[in-house]
Amino acid sequence: MKVGILCYPSYGGSGVIASDLARHLARRGHEVHVFSYETPFRLQQFEANLFFHQVEVLDYPLFRFPPYLIALTSKIVDVARTAQLDLLHVHYAIPHTPAAYLAREMLARERKLPIITTTHGTDITLVGKDPQFFEVIRFSLESSDGVTAVSHNLAIESKEVFGLEKTPRVIPNFVDVEAYIPQQNPALRSRFALPEEKLLLHISNFRPIKRLEDVVKIFAGVNQVLPSRLLLVGDGPEKVTALQMAQQLAVEERVHFLGRQENVAEIFALSDLFLLPSEKESFGLVALEAMACEVPVVASKTGGLPEVVEHGLTGYLAPVGHTDAMIEGSLKILSNPLLHRQMAERGRKVALSRFRAEPIVDAYEQYYKEILNES
């Protein structure tokens, strides 16, 4: 098949999944064309059958807001013609699904170009709901030839929010279980924590939805009982809030801001516990990556997280904002080496049995075939 993939290039999970899927499909012999405004960070290395098309927007003084949608649509139309694309797979609906829709309609007299949209979360639950976007996203989702969601929770919410006729097909996210592995690196670990200290980790884009203040509160509560350190990986608008909360709780010297990091697998493997107390997560790819590295997770019971983290088995879940329960869960895990080991091993087992790339790439391939046959 000749597949066009539209995605964001940045560090978010939707870009990671789109890039990893592109690589897997290319290795299976499909010709894959990726469209984005920058090379996705997971696609920096050469891969036969994989082509990247950079969408550049003309810089003209009249444009206060560069018309990315038009530039993206033009690029799709151009590549679809020259490469004879069979279908478009859109990751994150805004603005990719409307661009794919426009391209499909523009090419309608020449060729069929079915669209599959994969909803990832905030494109539905946060941004997509906004009146600025709602009607256009609803229309273009309904006009997609197929829609998938990364969790059951998001599939239901996508259907409800947009009143979709059909419930999206659930195809969960996956993790590279060969890159995300448990590993010992005492030399690196000793740069952050003494042997008797616990190392807690949080990775995100530091947006309000991630509740960075809760991350710091949970950490401070744990640190009162068990001397610990907190690694914060990522960057974003809530960095200052996190720092202020750390100062308020007098733990700032124990909190390490590592900024954006590319090789997070190594950092997961150093850590004793991963914290994800988000307001909402459609899936929580970082929680799955932690589990693959044998790191138990304490997270919010929200969105698709209960489909990834098994409460009491691979970590603990508590209602959003219940930091006391999250501290209690963290302390249970960190103060009981046997429980910690059991949860760590079970996490890896779940990653291997339910979220390995191969069967999930199979599911996408199968869905592509169904949609191509129907259209």
Interface with ligand GMT (CB under 6 A): 12-14, 17, 92, 120-122, 150, 173, 205, 207, 209, 280-285, 303
CB of 294 to ligand GMT, least distance (A): 20
Q: Which is nearer to ligand GMT, 198 or 210 (CB)?
A: 210
Select 17 or 269, whichever has its Cβ closest to ligand GMT: 17
Smallest separation (angstroms) from ligand GMT to the CB of 184: 27
Considering beta carbons, is residue 106 or 177 the nearer one to ligand GMT?
Answer: 177
Of residues 192 and 268, the one with the C-beta less far from ligand GMT: 268
Least distance between ligand GMT and beta carbon 249 (Å): 25
Shortest CB 274 distance to ligand GMT, Å: 13
Closest distance of CB 273 from ligand GMT, Å: 19
Nearest residue to ligand GMT, by Cβ distance, number only = 121
CB of 37 to ligand GMT, least distance (A): 15
Nearer to ligand GMT, 96 or 217 (CB): 96
Residue placing its CB nearer to ligand GMT in the complex, 209 or 273: 209
> Which C-beta is closer to ligand GMT: that of 119 or that of 323?
119
Q: Write out the two tokens for 225.
A: 């009982």
In the complex, the smallest distance separating the C-beta of residue 101 from ligand GMT, rounded to whole angstroms, is: 20
